């Protein structure tokens, strides 16, 4: 279904006001509209559905600071929606790293996904800094060779400034995202092969069986599993929150936002020029299909620009129906 962007934003904000102030709802709605505009459908309004719709989570008060140093902060989300709190963490990271060169900001006591890491690390890169972000979530992915889920889908994102727009790369370390399962289930579709196993470790293409079982590592190997573990450590044990939980959705999620000022090394201007030069050199490589190398975030940026130009976007009918969003 096609929907005007402004109308989508206001309808999302209205749904989110169930448990949020209008100011908070607007921050979260901005994220969701960005996700839909960039085509990040598994990181978009599908998160308002599923086992724990984001608008149903009741905050336990205002976001607070648990620890603060020159280079770091741990933020207590008090069950406020993760996109709201990760936006705060991103802004604190930019502020501290701009002043001191480096910042590591943790988010504790959030009980939802913050969506695509790209949204946040792009803001850090827009500020001239390098952004790195890692999140852990309730266990839904097996370690390599394992049956029981131990890791979350554990995404990581990188944002780098260039002479033009930042280049952003983000990826889940599971074969597919958990909300990819939610979306497939809502649509009554099967998932591709070799993505997940059921609760006994058998391959499955049934999204419900996969939700009871586990996703596989993104490369189906020990390497993907190692990346998932590193991200679990940075967003769990390093913050003192939860880790390797048992998919009860009763334990907190975790996010760490890192910003590094290139003034510590080559300086901001030279970094931008160097990264742009690197991308130019990648682009001229020959490809097997004769096209251009696919650089991370370029498709998403084109979709965003096209949606902005048109003024409307297409959203999934099943999702719109379930959320009561009208064109």
Question: Which spans of this chain sit near its own copies (rule: CB under 8 A)?
Answer: 67, 69-72, 74, 100-102, 104, 106, 130, 142-148, 150, 158, 160, 167, 169, 171, 201, 218-219, 221-227, 229-230, 232-234, 236-240, 243-244, 260, 262, 264-266, 270-271, 274-275, 277-278, 281-282, 285-289, 291, 293-296
Residue 261 Cβ, how far from its own copies at the closest point, in Å? Answer: 9
Residue 62 Cβ, how far from its own copies at the closest point, in Å? Answer: 22
Distance CA 187, CA 195 (A): 18
Distance CA 285, CA 61 (A): 53
For its own copies, give the closer residue by CB, 58 or 65.
Answer: 65
Residue 33 Cβ, how far from its own copies at the closest point, in Å? Answer: 24
CB-based contact 146:174 (threshold 8 Å): no
CB-based contact 218:172 (threshold 8 Å): yes
Long-range contacts of 190-195 (CB under 8 A, 24+ apart): 194/220
For its own copies, give the closer residue by CB, 11 or 43.
Answer: 43
Distance CA 184, CA 22 (A): 31
- Residue 312, helix vs strand vs coil: strand
For its own copies, give the closer residue by CB, 183 or 258.
Answer: 258
For its own copies, give the closer residue by CB, 8 or 172.
Answer: 172
Q: Which residues contact 186 (CB under 8 A, 6 or more apart)?
A: 46, 49, 318, 319, 322
For its own copies, give the closer residue by CB, 25 or 150.
Answer: 150
Residue 202 Cβ, how far from its own copies at the closest point, in Å? Answer: 9
Q: Are strands 72-76 and 102-108 parallel, antiparallel or unpaired?
A: parallel
Residue 122 Cβ, how far from its own copies at the closest point, in Å? Answer: 14
For its own copies, give the closer residue by CB, 102 or 312.
Answer: 102
- Residue 95, helix vs strand vs coil: helix
Q: Of 133, 156, 125, which Cα lies nearest the Cα of 257?
A: 133
Residue 88 Cβ, how far from its own copies at the closest point, in Å? Answer: 17
For its own copies, give the closer residue by CB, 29 or 242.
Answer: 242
Distance CA 67, CA 238 (A): 13
Q: How many residues does the chain have?
A: 327
Residue 45 Cβ, how far from its own copies at the closest point, in Å? Answer: 24
């Amino acid at each position: 279904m096609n929907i005007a962007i402004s109308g989508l934003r206001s309808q999302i904000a209205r749904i989110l006001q169930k448990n949020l102030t209008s100011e908070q709802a607007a921050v979260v709605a901005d994220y969701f509209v960005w996700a839909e505009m960039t085509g990040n459908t598994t990181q978009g309004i599908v998160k308002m559905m599923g086992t724990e719709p984001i608008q149903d989570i009741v905050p336990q008060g205002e976001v607070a600071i648990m620890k603060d140093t020159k280079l770091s902060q741990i933020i207590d989300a008090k069950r406020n929606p993760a996109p709201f709190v990760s936006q705060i963490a991103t802004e604190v990271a930019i502020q501290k790293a701009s002043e001191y060169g480096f910042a590591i900001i943790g988010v504790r006591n959030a009980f939802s996904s913050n969506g695509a890491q790209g949204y946040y690390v792009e803001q850090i890169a827009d500020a001239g800094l390098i952004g790195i972000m890692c999140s852990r979530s309730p266990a839904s992915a097996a370690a390599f060779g394992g049956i029981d889920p131990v890791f979350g889908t554990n995404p990581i994102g990188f944002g780098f400034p260039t002479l033009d727009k930042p280049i952003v790369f983000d990826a889940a370390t599971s074969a597919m995202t958990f909300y990819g399962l939610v979306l497939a289930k809502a649509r009554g579709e099967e998932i591709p092969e070799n993505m997940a196993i059921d609760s006994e470790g058998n391959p499955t293409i049934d999204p419900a069986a996969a939700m009871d079982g586990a996703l596989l590592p993104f490369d189906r190997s020990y390497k993907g599993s190692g990346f998932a573990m590193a991200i679990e450590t940075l967003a769990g044990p390093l913050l003192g929150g939860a880790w390797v939980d048992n998919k009860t959705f009763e334990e907190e999620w975790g996010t760490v936002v890192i910003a590094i000022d290139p003034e510590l090394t080559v300086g901001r201007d030279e970094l931008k020029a160097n990264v742009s030069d690197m991308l130019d050199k990648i682009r001229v490589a020959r490809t097997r299909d004769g096209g251009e190398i696919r650089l991370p975030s370029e498709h998403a940026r084109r979709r965003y620009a096209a949606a902005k130009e048109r003024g409307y976007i297409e959203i999934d009918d099943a999702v719109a129906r379930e959320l009561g969003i009208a064109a």
